[in-house]
Structure 1
Amino acid sequence: MKDINLDAFTFSGMNRGEIPDLTSLDAADKTEMLMSGVDVSGKGRSGTYLQIDHGKVHCRASQPGVEILDIKEALAKYDGLPDYFWTQVDKDKDEYTRAAAENLHGGYFIRTEKGAKIADPVQSCLFLKSDMVGQNVHNVVIVEEDSELHIITGCSVAHGSKGAAHLGISEFFVKKNAKLTFTMIHNWAETTVVRPRTGGIVEEGGVFLNNYVLLKPVHDLQSYPAITLAGRGAVARFNSVIVAPTGSKVDSGSKILLNAPDTRGEIISRTIASGGTIIARGYIGGHSVPARGHLECKGLILGGGIIHAIPELLGARDGVELSHEAAVGKIAQEEIEYLMARGMDEEEATSTIVRGFLNVDIMGLPAELKEVIDRTIQETEKDMF
């Protein structure tokens, strides 16, 4: 994927004041946020963080056992977070990490208390409202020992955006016997360029489940989160559903390092190119035994486009068990004919197959969020065909 010209975007001077009541937001902005899984009412959420352009506008925890702060506030409160901040992502990795390190706008800090089981998800939204704005964020998530948390993070732009750039650093820490489910929904635009950089570590008995959904156009996106399973019995699973219409360039993948005994890693991706380009990466490295990993990448090409699947397995120890399954193709004619024989027309049959292919049931999402995604899939079908 090509590099992007950061000089084309404004990275200073776009701070907004506090917004205590998010229901007062512009109706169009609320709709865009909802399409990325963020409900401004806060219903069914244990807390909300919202950043617009260059600064936090809302940050509130509504249930005990979870702390939510703007990252700048967390750095001040916890003496720079030396055990966490910039420990899983190298600030000199590339020009985007350096830009985020040199000019931090905001981002969220979310931490659970030890043993806390947070029933409702925390939601966060990183929103780009101004035209040609560049946004630098750094997120840190700490799930303490024996605790559980689900985060729904939605990244979006205002309707009619003429251009925006999002540079996002995220670092995850899942402590002993803790569980984090992290669901990210991207709702970008044809003019948005996106460069997230993500790393994390999972300790003994910990579980990290990552869901990623991209159904809307994006100009140029590059994402490759890496998780290290550092303790015995740690587990990581990545699920992704990606659609790239004409004009979209998506280079996306996941990396899991099995660095302790009895660890398990799984990467499952479903991609559809409907005129755009997708590079679907996956990497599992087995460095300890016993350890098991499986990578599954399946893609459909509908109406043109390119899918380049790059599955990688590295076994570095005797006894590591790794497997992968990759397939890129089209909808089988016999599947369409089977459904047509049962009363559907061709378009209905094709839509049914596509919805089944983009099934998000395995993600374990709240019902209302799944409904939002299902509606988005139905709207996306119109552009596919």
Structure 2
Amino acid sequence: MHSVNDKTIVNLSDFNSRAEKNEYAYIDSLEAMEKTDADEFVKVGIETDASLRAGTFIQKDNAVVHCSNSSDGTDVMGIAGALEAFPWLESHVWKLLSPEKDDMTREAAQSPLQGFFIRSHKDVKIEKPLQTCLHIAQDKFSQKVHNIVIAEENSEVHIIAGCSTSPHLTTGLHIGVSEFYVKKGATLKYTMIHDWGENVFVRPRTAVHVEEGGVFISNYISLKPVGSLESNPVTYLEKNATATMNSILVAGEGAHMDVGSVVELNGEGARAEIISRAIVAGGTIISRGHLKGNVHGVKGHLECKGLILKDGLLHAIPELSGAVPGVEMSHEAAVGKIDRREIEYLMARGLTEDDAVSTIVRGFLNVDIEGLPEELAQKMDQAVKDTEQDMM
């Protein structure tokens, strides 16, 4: 029986599908962005210095307000324009995900196509990250996007995907359908940094296909308050393909997070790792992970560790499924509190108790995430420090 305030339930009729402001002014240069927007975007890893990025896509509510590309080896476009420019792209839409998966996918499928298309060309290794930002500015707005990312054969690309809302929002809804294609020998690193708001509902639906020898690295980071987040992407690995799924989550008062990853190892030599760090500071985190070994000669490891700092719920659900002999998969999960001996050890070296706790929390969250640019790693460390005040 669900309660009236059950944050697992989204009533679509509570949100507006059409923006009151039909068009936001297009920004030709990132340096010309309004300061209020720039201040919000930088919190989720978006740089206004275009020289630091190979390309940028920014959508505000349902309007593309900036799209630029400084690399000859990439395409960065709104999905609607990309379908006009590349008719072949139609075969990639709703290929990895079914529009009938659930109410969220059905809602997205019935809406005009919005979102981004990013492609790295064959054999191109892009030195600087690309960046995207999906921002909700209108109160009670329902933002629905369908994103397609293709890393062509032997290419390498890193995408930093920020999502945020304006400070004045009382509530909002984000439905994000994403389909990622990592072709033979390609590497795609995808870092998501989200700052949604205390009463925002977030419903991503994601699927990834990694061809032979491909590499997919996903970093999901949510340190700030969010009303309700449900995400459980599925990744399909072919022969000798690799996936690493990292998540760093903090659930403050009233937050509800149900976050996981499913990886299906379908080709011999496939490798997968799912790593989760979660802190409950008054909210709820359901941390899922499921590795499916469908052929012999595959390896996978799942690790979920959590701390409870304030009353709430941390529910770890690690799953392993082996369908044939010759699969190697393992998992470890731990839910607990900060060890008093660690606090006393640091206090004996001159730290106050509060500083000792903060140091331990910061170390727990600061997982060494592969693929983060140095400047973004520094910002992440600062974000963790800022978040400590809310958690404690």
Contact 1:243 1:272 in 2 (8 A): yes
Secondary structure of residue in 2 paired with 1:60:
strand
Kept in 1, the 8 Å contact 2:186–2:215? The answer is yes
In the aligned structure 2, how far is the partner of 1:76 from the partner of 1:342?
Answer: 63
3-state SS, counterpart of residue 368 of structure 1 = helix
Amino acid at match of 2:314: I
Deviations 1:153-181 (A, max 9, x none): 00000122121110000000000100000
Write out per-residue CA displacement over residues 177-216 of structure 1, whole angstroms, 9 at most, x where no aligned residue: 0000000011110021100000010000000000000000
Aligned equivalent of 1:343 = 350
Q: Which of 180, 188, 193 is the equivalent residue of 2:188? A: 180
SS at match of 2:81: helix
CA contact (8 A) 1:258 1:288 kept: yes
Q: Which shifted more, 51-60 or 267-276?
A: 51-60
Shift of 1:24: 2.8
Instruction: Judge conservation of contact 2:181–2:210 (CA < 8 Å) in 1.
Output: yes
- Per mean C-alpha deviation after superposition, the further-off stretch among 197-206 and 73-82 is 73-82
> How many Å apart are 1:96 and its aligned residue?
0.7
Q: Which letter does structure 2 place at the counterpart of 1:10?
A: N
Verify the 8 A CA contact 2:129 2:158 in the aligned structure 1. yes
Gaps of at least 5 residues in structure 2 are 1-6
1:276-303 Cα distance to aligned partner (Å, 9 max, x none): 0000000000001100000000000002
Aligned match for 2:110, one of 96, 99, 102: 102
| TM-score, normalization by structure 2 | 0.96
Equivalents in 1 of 2:152, 2:32: separation in Å? 34
Aligned to 2:42: 34
1:87: how far off? 0.7
Which residue among 1, 8, 14 is the counterpart of 1:2? 8
Task: Report the counterpart of residue 72 of structure 1 in structure 2.
Answer: 80
The answer to which of 256-265 and 153-162 deviates more is: 153-162
> Which residue is equivalent to 1:190?
198
Aligned to 2:4: none
Instruction: Tell me whether 1:236 sits opposite 2:243 in the alignment.
Output: yes
Which amino acid is the alignment partner of residue 50 of structure 1? I
Which structure 2 residues correspond to residues 126-137 of structure 1 after superposition, within 5 A?
126-137=134-145
Q: 1:95 to 1:80 in 2, by over 3 A?
A: farther
Give yes or no for the alignment of 1:211 onto 2:225: no
Cα distance, 1:382 vs. partner?
0.5
Question: Structure 2 matches for 1:1-385, cutoff 5 A?
Answer: 2-13=8-19, 14-79=22-87, 81-230=89-238, 232-385=239-392
Letter in 2 for 1:335: E
Contact in 2 for aligned 1:195/1:223 (Cα 8 Å): yes
What is the rounded CA distance, in whole Å, between the counterparts of 1:353 and 1:110 in structure 2? 38
Shift of 1:130: 1.0
Shift of 1:105: 4.7
State the number of aligned residues.
Answer: 384
Q: CA deviation at 1:10?
A: 0.9
Q: Secondary structure at the match of 1:338?
A: helix
Query: Higher mean Cα deviation, 361-370 or 260-269?
Result: 361-370
Q: Distance in 2 between matches of 1:240 and 1:84?
A: 27
Contact preservation (8 Å) 1:97, 1:197: yes
The alignment partner of 1:81 has SS state of: helix
Counterpart amino acid of 1:156? Answer: S
**Whole-Å Cα distance in 2 between the matches of residues 376 and 220 of structure 1?**
21
Letter in 1 for 2:327: V
CA deviations on 1:316-339 (whole Å, 9 max, x unpaired) are 110100100001000000111111
C-alpha displacement of 1:21: 2.1
Report deviation, 1:361: 2.2
Assess if the C-alpha contact under 8 Å between 1:74 and 1:80 holds in 2: no
Runs of 4 or more consecutive aligned structure 1 residues displaced over 6 Å after TM superposition: none
Tell me if the contact between 1:55 and 1:105 (Cα under 8 Å) persists in the aligned partners: no
* DSSP-derived class of the 1:176 partner: coil
Structure 1 vs Structure 2 CA RMSD: 1.1
> What CA deviation, in whole Å up to 9, does each residue of 1:122-159 have, x standing for no partner?
00000111111110101000000010000000000012
Partners of 1:363 and 1:187 lie apart in 2 by 21
CA contact (8 A) 1:299 1:307 kept: yes
Structure 1 residues 17-70: Cα deviation after superposition (integer angstroms, max 9, x where no partner): 422123333322211111111112223100000000012111111111011110
Q: More displaced, 140-149 or 354-363?
A: 354-363
